[in-house]
A and B are shown apart, each in its own frame.
Chain A
Amino acid sequence: MSGAAAVLHGSADHAARFESKAATREPALVKWGILAVSLTFFGIFLLLPLITVFVEALRKGWDVYFAALIEPDAWAAIKLTLTAAAISVPLNLVFGVAAAWAITKFEFRGKHLLITLIDLPFSVSPVVSGLIYVLVFGAQGWFGPWLSEHDMKVVFAVPGIVLATVFVTFPFVARELIPLMEAQGRDEEEAAVVLGARGWQTFWYVTLPNVKWGLLYGVILCNARAMGEFGAVSVVSGHIRGQTNTMPLHVEILYNEYQFAAAFAVASLLALLALVTLVIKTWVEHQAGKSSQQSEE
């Protein structure tokens, strides 16, 4: 879906700008009313679920918590999740850079269509994202008979999980880089080339330093989604314990077996991943804000 990754913008607290002037200030009662309502809404719908994950995970004590994490099936799930992310994130990184280079450094017809098509996976329901690979590579799919003749498995095996993960994280890097590189224009790169730099040198020394924060931003959001994807992976996984179970799928299995403490223990790892992602994301926004202020000065 477009907008799943907000476009990077520098963040700074401008509230004082509004609160210092009578014309842009609400009466205290209105202000406190808006704050109370919006923060209560925030607390109930965002904060409480997050706290719940950790409280439920530790409900039966640390022993049960750690036991759930070192159990072999949990380990296998953790390893598979890391593997899927380790393959799909670099693939999408390379794709994102190539797509952004082609789109922002050259003029060609159909550019807007191309950008829309790159964004397309965000609009597709995760379940449908999994289904499309079942239809192509599944037993009754296009390549199903050929694959089984050659004793290869894509669906209900690791390659299918990787493919589904690549699909759902497809636009992340590209959509961060395209607006950034568009805004930066081509002058610096053209100057470098005219001065004798080779293509890769130009990219490495001129383009990359300009877009590094956007790139990092795209990569961490891509990684969070890659490790956390549920619907698409669920369709292609086959749920074979210890083999094709990723962490989110393992959470589901444990939960459906009423092993709530264990399910929340594994879920707490994923929640920690989400928190780390948000911390890095906030830090990157801060850095990007600083460097854009510097370049304005």
Chain B
Amino acid sequence: MAASNSTRVLPGFGLSLGYTLSWLSLIVLIPLVAVFLKAGSLGADHFIAAVSSPRVLASYRLTFGASLIAALINTVFGLMLAWALVRYSFPGKRLVDALVDLPFALPTAVAGIALTALYAKNGWVGKLLEPLGIQVAFTPLGVLVALIFIGLPFVVRTVQPILEDLDTEYEEAAVSLGANRWQAFRHVVFPTVLPALMTGFAMAFARAVGEYGSVIFIAGNIPLVSEITPLMIITKLEQYDYAGATAIAVVMLLISFVLLLIINGLQAWTAKRTGRER
């Protein structure tokens, strides 16, 4: 990575880049490479056995299924919440706006025990759902609730700035051309917001797939029923099965990398569609 600009005026290129690359390698790259090397030493049979045992397969189904549903729910309600925050004035709006980021700031373990207390049979929400025969805590439904909690701000915070930057002229033009409000939203606003909405969806999904702290308390962690994939890594570690844990970690890392590439692509699309820098 040599500087291509020979007329550099500012000092500190070598120092800052050198430091950045060394620290990045030490903290992030070398430890990540360790996982792949360790997995590589497993041998294909052992690796495949570790990542495709029935319990692990069940955990993939739950993790990806619940993450997908949670991200979809967050996309719908996150768009509505972002819309309300940008377009309407209402009492307590600033408080709501600030608290949307709560899942970023609240430690996941705290969220986990709070959600469990809420949705347990004697909890505020659990008590209401019990007569309806709906049990949330210690079932896959509990996993879904936790993943909705941690994913919501991703959708709101990616869509909100795009809605704020939207010029009113386009909607006014649409209306003056005879569109009704719904058509103006459907054909003018929605296409502009769509890339950001998909970015928010992908971010919420990616976060949900790796989530651990907020889920394990409410999930109940019943084998084959409510075990998430990150918990399978912990379970293997507790049994001193480092090879098995590493194999599952490699699967999760590869999925994270693919999701990261998709999110970067979506962000580039958002920037292009709205003329807005990332």
Binding site for B on A (CB under 8 A): 1-7, 9, 11, 13-19, 21-27, 30-31, 34-35, 37-39, 41-42, 44-50, 52-53, 56, 95, 98-99, 101-103, 105-110, 114, 116-121, 123-128, 131-136, 138, 140-142, 163, 166-167, 170, 179, 182-183, 186, 189-190, 193-194, 198-199, 202-203, 221, 224-225, 227-231, 234-235, 247-249, 251-252, 255, 260, 263-264, 267, 270-271, 273-275, 277-279, 281-282
A17-B168, A170-B28, A230-B212 given; A120·B260 CB < 8 A? yes
- Asked if A4 contacts B89 (CB within 8 A), the reply is no
- Asked if A35 contacts B90 (CB within 8 A), the reply is yes
Nearest-neighbour CB distance to chain A for B213, whole angstroms, equals: 4
- Asked if A102 contacts B17 (CB within 8 A), the reply is yes
B80 interfacial contact with A, CB 8 Å: yes
- Asked if A18 contacts B16 (CB within 8 A), the reply is no
Nearest-neighbour CB distance to chain B for A55, whole angstroms, equals: 9
Which of A3, A41, A166, A279 meets B98, CB within 8 Å? A279
- Asked if B206 contacts A123 (CB within 8 A), the reply is yes
Give every chain B residue within 8 A of A117 (Cβ-Cβ): 24, 28-29
A230-B108, A231-B212 given; A42·B96 CB < 8 A? yes
B interface secondary structure, majority: helix
- CA of A129 to CA of B171, assembled, Å: 46
- Chain A, Cβ-Cβ closest to B174: A23
Q: Mark B85-120, 1 if CB is under 8 A from A, else 0.
A: 011111001101111111111111111011101100
- Asked if A127 contacts B212 (CB within 8 A), the reply is yes
- Asked if B107 contacts A44 (CB within 8 A), the reply is no
- CA of A128 to CA of B248, assembled, Å: 9
B190 interfacial contact with A, CB 8 Å: no
- Asked if A98 contacts B207 (CB within 8 A), the reply is no
- Asked if A135 contacts B246 (CB within 8 A), the reply is yes
A interface secondary structure, majority: helix
- Chain B, Cβ-Cβ closest to A203: B12
Which of B12, B19, B80, B212 meets A126, CB within 8 Å? B212
Nearest-neighbour CB distance to chain B for A232, whole angstroms, equals: 9
Give every chain A residue within 8 A of B15 (Cβ-Cβ): 98
Nearest-neighbour CB distance to chain B for A160, whole angstroms, equals: 11
B245 interfacial contact with A, CB 8 Å: yes
- Asked if B210 contacts A267 (CB within 8 A), the reply is no
Give every chain A residue within 8 A of B89 (Cβ-Cβ): 13, 15-16, 19
- Chain B, Cβ-Cβ closest to A248: B109
Given A27-B181, A125-B252, 17 new contacts (CB under 8 A)? A15-B89, A18-B86, A24-B87, A26-B181, A35-B90, A53-B113, A102-B12, A108-B1, A114-B1, A125-B210, A127-B231, A135-B35, A230-B213, A264-B117, A270-B106, A278-B101, A281-B98
Nearest-neighbour CB distance to chain A for B42, whole angstroms, equals: 12
Give every chain B residue within 8 A of A279 (Cβ-Cβ): 98
Which of B10, B103, B125, B264 meets A186, CB within 8 Å? B10
Q: Mark B57-93, 1 if CB is under 8 A from A, else 0.
A: 0000000000000000000010011011011111001
Give every chain B residue within 8 A of A121 (Cβ-Cβ): 28
- Asked if B107 contacts A270 (CB within 8 A), the reply is yes
16 contacts between A and B (CB under 8 A): A2-B203, A9-B161, A39-B84, A39-B96, A42-B81, A42-B99, A45-B145, A49-B106, A116-B264, A120-B260, A126-B108, A127-B212, A131-B233, A135-B242, A267-B110, A273-B105
Closest 9 pairs between A and B when the two form their complex, measured CB to CB: A228-B107, A125-B210, A230-B213, A231-B212, A132-B31, A274-B105, A199-B11, A102-B16, A102-B17
- Asked if B213 contacts A231 (CB within 8 A), the reply is yes
Nearest-neighbour CB distance to chain A for B4, whole angstroms, equals: 5
